[in-house]
Amino acid sequence: MLTREENDLLTQTSAGTPCGEYFRRFWLPALLAWEVPEPDCAPVRVRIMGEDLIAFRDTQGRVGIIDEFCPHRRASLFWGRNEECGLRCVYHGWKFDVNGACVELPNEPIEYGYASKVRTTAYATREYGGLVWVYMGPPDRVPELPKLEWARVPEDHRYISKRFQETNYLQAVEGGIDSSHSNFLHASVDAFRLTDEYVEKTKNSSNLRAKYHLLDRAPRFTVKKTDYGLAIAARRNAEEDLYYWRTTQFLLPSHTMIPYQKGHSIHGHCWVPRDDETCWVWTMTWNPDAPLSREDRDAIAKETFVHQSVEPVTFRPVRNKSNHYGIDRAQQRDITMTGIHGFAAQDQAVQESMGPVVDRSKERLGASDAGIIAMRKLLLDEIRALGQGQEPASALQGDAYWIRSCSALLKREVAFDEGMRELLKAEV
């Protein structure tokens, strides 16, 4: 468990907080590129780490992310006119470009030269992988963009979704690196009970997860620190001379990759603090070798795995806390453990049930929480190091993010380091 002080250190991300300053050293996903689809389109509200911002695409196609509130009288620039390379406040006509400079100040005499003295907060942006990214840290320390594989494949090889979640980012990340909960939360009743019919159906399956993952409910964990974050491996018993390994990647500050089996598409997440009690959940599905298959598209459309349908504008999932995530108690009794449709909605339901910010001083952790414990320690170490003037090295090494997760069968005598090193080298 964590102390209350450590919990606060990890979960408070507003400007000026240690964790907030740490996150601001990285490029973060801010919005889908299609939210600002064309020059001079309507501006969009963006809330990240407690800051209310406005995104707009100017006449030249550049994307700006600036303070939502006009520095004059604090009217919202959401109502602004996006025209002629700037966003104009409709209250008094003050106009700002993508860099935050005031380019027109029509209600003040020109001879006063007041416009040159006015600026608003503006953050650096980049378009990459179908998203608009924002950097909110020191302007003289802009890092590289992370060379994430999903951001570098052709557009028809990937699908990216965004949703709003009513929890602090940290408990969402913890769910993403928890490899033991899927034996229960995402299981069918037959899988949980290990009925004869289920065992017979899965014992000859080509899907390694179906064959081994649900038949060994108590995996052994190995966690290794890397230059991008952590490799978290869950080892399960397989055949007499084999182990089944699933390696989840945790990439600083808050990316994860779900273990994948060769020949299938890869899935990942990035959780971005919206404020201390809510976060943005970014979900990626990609195939490095080919366009997404019909099977992938069907899973996305039917919300059976990592993606969810959301309400327009708010990006709140259609299944949410207010409607109990559409739980079907009859289905829960007879078919699935939760009665909630889709892995993503199941994750959201249990994470939001913990409250906006978990009091981790009340936890009782076990061996299956090794990855979570290691992730918290790593983040605490990184945040404290920044407080001592040491910049996060991973933010400056875009190449370090050029990795994949993996799952595989390995001989029992093969050491984890050796086996994973060879697998990851072969896959990337």
43 and 103 part of one domain: yes
**Residues 6+ away with beta carbon under 8 Å from 71:** 94, 118, 119, 120
**Domain-located, residue 1:** no
Answer whether residue 428 shows pLDDT above 60. Answer: no
Q: Are residues 270 and 390 in the same domain?
A: yes
Give the integer Cα–Cα distance in Å for 283 and 64.
Answer: 24
pLDDT score of 426: 46
- The CATH number given to whatever domain includes residue 263 is 3.90.380.10
Average the pLDDT over 93-107 and give the result.
95
Mean pLDDT of 315-343: 97
Please give the average per-residue pLDDT across 336-345, as a whole number.
Answer: 96
Q: Are residues 247 and 375 in the same domain?
A: yes
Check pLDDT > 80 for residue 206.
no
Nearest in space to 70 (alpha carbons), one of 48, 57, 58, 52: 52
Complete DSSP assignment for 96-129: E-TTSBEEE-TTS-GGG-GGGG-B--EEEEEEET
Of 124, 146, 134, 131, the C-alpha closest to 49 is 134
Regarding whether 246 and 285 lie in a shared domain, the answer is yes
Output the pLDDT for position 415.
79
- According to DSSP, the β-strands at 406-411 and 102-104 are unpaired
Question: Cα 192–355–50 angle (5° rounding)?
Answer: 130
Residues 286 and 234 in one domain: yes
Cα–Cα distance for residue pair 27/142, rounded to 1 Å: 9
Looking at the fold, whether 137 and 176 belong to one and the same domain comes out as no
Per DSSP, 293 falls in state: P
Main-chain phi, psi angles of 388, to 5 degrees: -95, 10
CATH code for the domain of 90? 2.102.10.10
Whole-angstrom distance, CA of residue 297 vs CA of residue 413: 39
> Residue 235's beta-bridge partner residues?
220, 245
Q: Tens digits of per-residue pLDDT, 361-404? A: 999 999 999 999 999 999 999 999 999 999 999 999 999 999 99
What HEC string does 139-175 produce? Answer: HHHCCCCCCCHHHHCCHHHEEEEEEEECCCHHHHHHH
- Domain annotation covers residue 411: yes
Taking CA atoms, 84 is separated from 103, 107, 198, in Å, by: 10, 18, 63
Identify the three-state secondary structure at position 60: coil
pLDDT in tens, 257-315: 998 877 789 999 999 999 999 999 999 999 999 999 999 999 999 999 999 999 999 99
State the chain's mean pLDDT as an integer. 92
257 domain-assigned: yes
d(CA 271, CA 256): 9
**b/e for 97-106, b at 16 or more Cβ within 10 A?**
bbebebbebe
For the segment 161-183, the average pLDDT, to the nearest whole number, is 94
Residues 273, 157 share a domain? yes
- pLDDT of 420: 67
Query: Within this chain, do residues 352 and 217 fall inside the same structural domain, yes or no?
Result: yes
Domain assignment present for residue 5? The answer is no
CB atoms within 10 A of CB 147: 15
Q: What pLDDT does residue 423 have?
A: 60
Q: Which of 141, 169, 197 is the last residue of a domain?
A: 141
Q: What is the pLDDT of residue 224?
A: 93
Of the candidates 141, 176, 198, which is a domain's last residue?
A: 141
In a shared domain, residues 128 and 199? no
Query: How does residue 414 score in pLDDT terms, banded at 50, 70 and 90?
Result: confident
102 shares a domain with 237: no
Is it the case that residue 115 has pLDDT exceeding 80? no
**Cα(276)–Cα(266) distance, rounded to whole angstroms?**
29
* Full domain range(s) for residue 93: 27-141
Total domains present in the chain = 2
**pLDDT tier at 219 (50, 70, 90 boundaries)?**
confident
Shared-domain flag, residues 363 and 385:
yes
Largest CA distance in the chain: 86
Percent of the chain with pLDDT over 90: 77
- The domain boundary, picked from 92, 111, 141, lies at 141
3-state secondary structure 314-372: CCCECCCHHHHHHCCHHHHHHCECCCCCCHHHHHHHHHHHCCCCCCHHHCCCCHHHHHH
Structure tokens at 12: 């408070």
Are 162 and 106 contained in the same domain? no
Structure tokens at 371: 């990855």
| Coil vs helix vs strand at 270 | strand
- In this structure, what token pair is assigned to residue 355? 């409250």
The amino acid that residue 403 corresponds to is: I
